[in-house]
C-alpha cells in the first residue's frame, strides 16, 4: 500500500487516468451498481425520500456557498491589485489565478458546459426504474434522452472535489488538516446528490476524476512549468501595468468630462 501511495504521489496524472479508466470500466461492465446505489435511496411510493429531509436540503447548498465565497475572495484579491497597482498583493497572485482558473475550466466548462449539456444521460429520477419514462443510459454513452443539464457527470461532485485546490495552495504543515476536513465534506456533498436522485454514483465518481485532472493540469502549468508571466512576480508586474494603465485611462476620461462640463456651463453664464 505504501509502495502504491508513493507511485500515486510521483505520477498523479497516470494515477488519475487510471482511476477514471477503472471507474468507467466497472460501471460499464456492471451497470447494475448504479441502479443499486440509487435504489438504496428510493421508495416506490415516496420516491427519493431524502429530498424531504430539511437538513439534507440545506447540505446541498453548503457546497455552492463555499465555492462562491472562495471565488469572490479570489476575484477581490485580483481587483484590489488592479485598483491599487502600487501596493504589494495581499497574497501571491498565482493563488487566486489557480483557484479561479480551475473553477472555470473544471466545474464550469468541462463538467457543466461540455459533459452535462451534451452527453444527454437521464438523471435517476428520470429513468423507468425509479418512476420516470426514460431508459437507463450507461456511462460515456451519448444519448438524446436529456437535452441540457443532464446527469453525466455530477456538477455538485465536481464542485465539491474542486475544494481540494485549497490543499494544493496551503502550507505543507496545514495540508493534512485541511485534507482531513475536506474529505468528509466532499463525500457528504456528493452522496447527497445520489440520495436525491439527481445523479448516479458513477456520475459522481467520474466527476471527481475529470475535475481532479483539470486541477492537476492547471497546477502543473502554474507551479511546475510556469512561463515568465505565470510566476507570482510576473503576474504582479502584469497587473501593476494594467492597473496603472487603468488609472491613466480613468484620469483621462475624468479630465475630459470635467473640461466638457466647464465648457457647457460657460455657455450659460
- As a whole number of angstroms, the distance between CA 153 and CA 148 comes to 12
Residue 38 vs residues 156, 199, 232: alpha-carbon distances, Å: 16, 8, 46
φ/ψ bin of 120: left (φ > 0), alpha (ψ from -120 to 50), beta (otherwise): left
pLDDT at 1: 52
Q: Hey, what's the cell of 8?
A: 500515486
Tell me: the pLDDT tens digits for 58-79? 998 899 999 999 999 999 999 9
| 122 secondary structure, DSSP code | P
- As a whole number of angstroms, the distance between CA 230 and CA 234 comes to 6
Nearest by Cα to 159 from 204, 95, 221, 217 = 204
The torsion angles phi and psi of 127, rounded to 5 degrees, stand at: -85, 160
> Which contacts (CB < 8 Å, 24+ apart) does range 205-208 have?
205/23, 205/157, 206/20, 206/23, 206/24, 206/139, 206/152, 206/153, 207/111, 207/153, 207/154, 207/155, 207/157, 207/158, 207/161, 208/157, 208/158, 208/161
- As a whole number of angstroms, the distance between CA 39 and CA 197 comes to 9
- Residues in the chain with pLDDT values less than 70: 1, 261, 264-265, 267-269
The SS3 assignment for 164 reads coil
The dihedral through the CA atoms of 228, 233, 237, 238 has a sign that is positive
Domain boundaries, the chain: 17-266
| Helix ranges restricted to H, the chain | 2-10, 12-29, 32-39, 54-83, 94-103, 117-118, 155-162, 165-169, 175-195, 201-219, 232-266
Amino acid at each position: 500500500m505504501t509502495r502504491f501511495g508513493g507511485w500515486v504521489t510521483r505520477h498523479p496524472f497516470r494515477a488519475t487516468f487510471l482511476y477514471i479508466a477503472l471507474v468507467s470500466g466497472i460501471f460499464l461492465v456492471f451497470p447494475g451498481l448504479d441502479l443499486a446505489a440509487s435504489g438504496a435511496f428510493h421508495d416506490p411510493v415516496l420516491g427519493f425520500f431524502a429530498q424531504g429531509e430539511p437538513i439534507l436540503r440545506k447540505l446541498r447548498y453548503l457546497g455552492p456557498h463555499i465555492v462562491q465565497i472562495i471565488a469572490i475572495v479570489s476575484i477581490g484579491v485580483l481587483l484590489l491589485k488592479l485598483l491599487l497597482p502600487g501596493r504589494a498583493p495581499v497574497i501571491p497572485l498565482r493563488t487566486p489565478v489557480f483557484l479561479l482558473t480551475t473553477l472555470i475550466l473544471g466545474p464550469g466548462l468541462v463538467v457543466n458546459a461540455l459533459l452535462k449539456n451534451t452527453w444527454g444521460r437521464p438523471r435517476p429520477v428520470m429513468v423507468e426504474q425509479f418512476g420516470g419514462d426514460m431508459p437507463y443510459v450507461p456511462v460515456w454513452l451519448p444519448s438524446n434522452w436529456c437535452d441540457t443539464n443532464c446527469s453525466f457527470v455530477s456538477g455538485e461532485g465536481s464542485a465539491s472535489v474542486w475544494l481540494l485546490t485549497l490543499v494544493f495552495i496551503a502550507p505543507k504543515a496545514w495540508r493534512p488538516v485541511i485534507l482531513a476536513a475536506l474529505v468528509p465534506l466532499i463525500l457528504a456533498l456528493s452522496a447527497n446528490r445520489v440520495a436525491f436522485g439527481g445523479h448516479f454514483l458513477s456520475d459522481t465518481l467520474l466527476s471527481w476524476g475529470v475535475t481532479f485532472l483539470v486541477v492537476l493540469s492547471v497546477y502543473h502549468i502554474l507551479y511546475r512549468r510556469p512561463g515568465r508571466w505565470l510566476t507570482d512576480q510576473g503576474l504582479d508586474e502584469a497587473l501593476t501595468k494594467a492597473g496603472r494603465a487603468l488609472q491613466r485611462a480613468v484620469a483621462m476620461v475624468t479630465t475630459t468630462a470635467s473640461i466638457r462640463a466647464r465648457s457647457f456651463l460657460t455657455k450659460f453664464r
